Chains A and B, each alone.
Chain A
């Protein structure tokens, strides 16, 4: 397997883990009291939150690896895809109501982030 495919595989792993982490963290913070004590209790006792933390830690390893296999200039704009994957999972798994205006905003953000990352 060459560096290009290794990079793409590692990148895909990072995107999947980021999406999985965000969704499980959102599930884990439902009915949580938003104070420091409530948050600490949730970290120590809630399996969804713990799964999310494991996802984020594993993701950072994948992301570090990705940055060694492909240039930041390519990896960074590609990372914008997380805005799409997280929004889709919010709608279909978390059943959040995403209005057309919010979809439009997310689309503009996605395109904008790709443009910020691209350097001519």
Chain B
């Protein structure tokens, strides 16, 4: 990881979340474009494996894995996972542009609810205190002293 962000875990966390959402959106769009709509499971897997878009999404998955592990090391699962719902908005908006899919009023309301929900989650503490944090907090050190 780059040097300036090492001293700023909060910045690193948000950069990681931004990357997670971008990669998730790319993977979903690749997936959507590469999976055939009809046929049995064996046929589906065979047809999917040879598509270049599938290979691209596999590479993106590996990058996503590294990034997601970094994000999880920095914050609560219940903090970061809901925030990745922003990728649903990105997929809906990208599909509107790329595949000319309509965005109806119901979807606009859904986008609004997700934005409000992500805002609420983002305003909560990003990490629960662990037993190690409690042990080094001023209160417990006073008690120990």
Q: For the A-B complex with A34-B73, A53-B65 known, give 16 more contacts whose Cβ atoms are closer than 8 Å.
A: A33-B73, A49-B69, A68-B41, A83-B82, A87-B82, A90-B78, A90-B81, A97-B76, A97-B129, A98-B78, A102-B82, A105-B117, A108-B116, A108-B117, A115-B110, A116-B110
How far is it, in angstroms, between the C-alpha of A75 and the C-alpha of B122 when the chains are bound?
27
Quick check: which of B17-25, B84-92, B134-142 contacts chain A, the rest being far away? B84-92
Q: Is the Cβ of A102 less than 8 Å from the Cβ of B92?
A: no
- B35, B45, B70: which contacts A34 (Cβ < 8 A)? B70
- A32, A39, A105, A119: which contacts B118 (Cβ < 8 A)? A105
State the majority secondary structure of interface residues on B: helix
Range, interface on chain B: 35 or more
Q: Which residues of B contact A (CB under 8 A)?
A: 1, 6, 9, 12, 32, 35, 38-41, 44-45, 48, 65-66, 68-70, 72-74, 76-79, 81-82, 85, 88-89, 92, 102, 104, 106-107, 109-125, 128-129
How far is it, in angstroms, between the C-alpha of A43 and the C-alpha of B81 when the chains are bound?
20
How far is it, in angstroms, between the C-alpha of A5 and the C-alpha of B95 when the chains are bound?
29
1/0 contact trace for A25-53 toward B, CB 8 Å?
Answer: 11011101111101110110000010001
How far is it, in angstroms, between the C-alpha of A69 and the C-alpha of B63 when the chains are bound?
29
1/0 contact trace for A90-110 toward B, CB 8 Å?
Answer: 110011111101101111111
Q: Is the Cβ of A67 less than 8 Å from the Cβ of B35?
A: yes
Contact A112:B35 (CB < 8 A) given known A26-B77, A118-B106: no
Total number of A residues with any Cβ neighbor in B under 8 Å: 56
Question: Is A74 on the interface with B (CB-CB < 8 A)?
Answer: no
Give the chain A neighbours of B85 by CB distance below 8 A. Answer: 83, 109, 112-113
Give the chain A neighbours of B110 by CB distance below 8 A. Answer: 111-118
State the majority secondary structure of interface residues on A: helix
